Amino acid sequence: METVSTSRAFGGTQGVYKHVSTETGTEMTFSVFVPEHAEGETLPVVWYLSGLTCTHANVTDKGEFRAHCARHGLIFVAPDTSPRGEGVADDAEGAYDFGLGAGFYVNATQEPFAAHYRMRAYIEEELPALIGAEFPADMSRQGIMGHSMGGHGALTIGLRNADRFKAVSAFAPIVSPLNCPWGEKALSGYIGSDRASWREYDACALIEDGARVADLLVDQGDADGFLEGQLKPELLVKTCEAAGQPLTLRMQEGYDHSYYFISTFMGDHLDWHAARLKG
């Protein structure tokens, strides 16, 4: 692991780091905020997965999370959204919703993406091992959150690994890639045409198939331009109600899909995670 930069913030350290990933076969960059803590103390970890077109830098620069993490004693990890670099396949037409910046947190099986697009394994396995080894992280206390495509990632990774993540939340998540254009494009391109194989990457389908977590928190702006066509939170509500999966969905009046929305409610989400990661 190489340190790209470190800065003092709210008594702790905001760092940016990079390493060569064995899963993606590329160099990967991520950021970590470590609050002030006693020597030898380990702290709970909250993962933040970003949305389409983003890198680690979007939330690091605009998420306004550090004061809340410092107050609660939470390590905040922000990975990239896809592999990058020479030889990494991209959308043939340069579209923003597939390829670079749009890894969708899957392990791709279709060529030419299978070689590098292994973001599921990277987030579920490789990067946690690195975080546990290099930072004062208590890996028995982890939470996960995300935005949009990253909200999809947080929900699906949280549901598939309920024994690991004690808190799961999302901002404006893609709740059912099986039922929206972004998801259909990504999953068909990365996974193939067999829609049954998509179900492990769809939060609603995972819940229908028996996956459960203690509870879910989702914030969604009602002025979000992607609300009706791509995000469809009503599908998650319907699925959770039918399955008995606890869900708190808050529709936020006048808020859009931007980091103005995310930063406004970031403190609420970190309060949620802290309450579930104590002790």
Read off the pLDDT of residues 1-20 as tens digits, 9 standing for 90 and up. Answer: 999 999 999 999 999 999 99
Where the chain has pLDDT below 70, the residues are 279
Q: State how far the alpha carbon of 77 is from the alpha carbons of 49, 190, 225, in Å.
A: 9, 25, 28
Read off the pLDDT of residues 77-105 as tens digits, 9 standing for 90 and up. Answer: 999 999 999 999 999 889 999 999 999 99
The reply to whether 224 belongs to the active site is yes
Catalytic option among 68, 224, 269, 273: 224
CA 115/CA 204 separation, integer angstroms: 28
50 φ/ψ angles, rounded to the nearest 5 degrees: -90, 170
The reply to whether 257 belongs to the active site is yes
Q: How far is CA 223 from the centre of its chain?
A: 22
Read off the pLDDT of residues 176-199 as tens digits, 9 standing for 90 and up. Answer: 999 999 999 999 999 999 999 999
Beta pairing class for 216-221 and 247-252: parallel
CA 192/CA 109 separation, integer angstroms: 7
Domains of the chain, start order = 2-277 (3.40.50.1820)
Residue carrying structure tokens 């930063």: 263
Using DSSP's 3-state secondary structure scheme, residue 82 falls into coil
Question: What torsion do the CA atoms of 116, 193, 145, 54 make, to the nearest 10 degrees?
Answer: 50
Residue carrying structure tokens 């969708």: 104
Q: Supply the pLDDT for residue 134.
A: 98
Catalytic option among 31, 82, 148, 169: 148
Catalytic option among 68, 116, 257, 269: 257
Count of CB atoms situated within 10 Å of the CB of 228: 10
Look at residues 267, 264, 266, 244 and name the one whose alpha carbon lies nearest to residue 255: 264
Using DSSP's 3-state secondary structure scheme, residue 158 falls into helix
